Amino acid sequence: MKIKVVLERAEEGGYTAYVPSLPGCISEGDSKKEALDNIREAVELYLEYTDKAEGKEIVEVAI
């Protein structure tokens, strides 16, 4: 799955990352890498929560 992430330099230092297609899905980090790692985790949690709220069963499969 590909999701567009916007990465912006924060005024107070570090970076803010957010996903325009997922309202409220935002994170930050001291470096670009940290911000991207954090937003990746935020997206996973956001999608997992949304699926559960819609009554979908979450199953992880290793391929």
Q: Classify residue 1: in a domain, yes or no.
A: no
Q: Classify residue 63: in a domain, yes or no.
A: no
**Positive or negative torsion for Cα 36, 37, 40, 42:** negative
pTM comes to 0.78
The confidence score (pLDDT) of residue 1 equals 74
The confidence score (pLDDT) of residue 8 equals 97
Task: Give me the CATH number covering residue 36.
Answer: 3.30.160.250
Task: Name residue 15's amino acid.
Answer: Y
The confidence score (pLDDT) of residue 41 equals 94
Distance between CA atoms of residues 35 and 3, nearest Å? 15
Distance between CA atoms of residues 57 and 51, nearest Å? 7
Q: Classify residue 61: in a domain, yes or no.
A: no
Q: Classify residue 62: in a domain, yes or no.
A: no
Q: Which domain holds residue 23?
A: 6-53
The confidence score (pLDDT) of residue 57 equals 66
Q: List, for residues 5-63, the tens digit of each pLDDT value.
A: 999 999 999 999 999 999 999 999 999 999 999 999 999 889 888 867 777 766 665 55
